[in-house]
Amino acid sequence: MIRILLVDDHPSVGEGTKVIIEREADMEVTIVESPIEAIERVENAEFECMLFDLKMPGMNGIELVKKVRSMGVHVPILIYTGHDIGPYFNTLVKAGASGFINKTERKEELIRSIRSAMNGKVLLPISLFKELRRMEVQVEEAKEEEEASEEISITQKEQELLKRLAEGKSNKEIASMYYKSQRTIEYNLTDLFKKLKVKSRAEAVLKSKQWGIIGEEIE
């Protein structure tokens, strides 16, 4: 029997998926509605495959994959979502996801994806497959930027400033936090933007995450 853990915060979706999967004579599904409950189940039971929703309150699917992998679990973990997986592809692979299933796929594709994962294979949508080449080019560009970043020295104060930008703080709020004038913060940002070779707060945050100056988890 293939025991499957399904994590989805939408009860109706979870129940519907369970019905579809359990039409297979060799599959059994356990549903939980929160990542915290999923972690408890993983600690106390064994599963041969897991399906995680991507967007969930408290802990998203990416974080849950990382957590479960850190517990020493090596079974296939599939991301089961209605969202476009493209923007999250590299992050999910790095986190330890084994594959992806879109909730809009036919039930046959759902079962096929689970069985493929159990056999160590991944089924990818053609649209995502075509994007992989573009991602490869972007990775090469990122490497070039990373090499260039080695020549840039970011101080601890500038790193803190970047974190505040990533949190969405305004210049006024940042000035208040550090007991400085708003004009001083504006000068600091201008110098920082020149150093990073960017023209906006969003670009500064994005490049800082790409270079590892601030963590990806900061939003």
pLDDT tens per residue, range 138-154: 444 445 455 444 456 77
Q: How many CA atoms lie within 13 A of 90 on its CB side?
A: 11
Could you read off the pLDDT tens digit of each residue along the chain, which spans 219 residues?
A: 999 999 999 999 999 999 999 999 999 999 999 999 999 999 999 999 999 999 888 889 989 999 999 999 999 999 998 887 777 777 888 889 998 888 888 899 999 999 999 988 877 666 666 566 554 444 444 454 554 444 567 788 888 999 999 989 999 999 999 888 999 999 899 988 988 888 888 888 888 887 778 876 555
Do residues 57 and 165 both lie within one domain? Answer: no
pTM over 0.75: no
Q: What's the rounded Cα separation, in Å, for the pair 65 and 52?
A: 8
* Domain CATH for 99: 3.40.50.2300
Segments in 22-86 forming alpha helices (H): 35-44, 61-70
Do residues 14 and 74 both lie within one domain? Answer: yes
Task: Look up residue 58 and give its amino acid.
Answer: G
SS3 122: coil
Segments in the chain forming alpha helices (H): 11-21, 35-44, 61-70, 89-95, 107-118, 126-149, 156-166, 171-177, 182-196, 201-210
CB 158 within 8 A of CB 194: no
Domain stop point among 74, 95, 128: 128
Do residues 190 and 116 both lie within one domain? Answer: no
Q: What's the rounded Cα separation, in Å, for the pair 55 and 61?
A: 6
Count of domains for the chain: 2
Task: Look up residue 119 and give its amino acid.
Answer: N
Q: What's the rounded Cα separation, in Å, for the pair 78 and 1?
A: 18
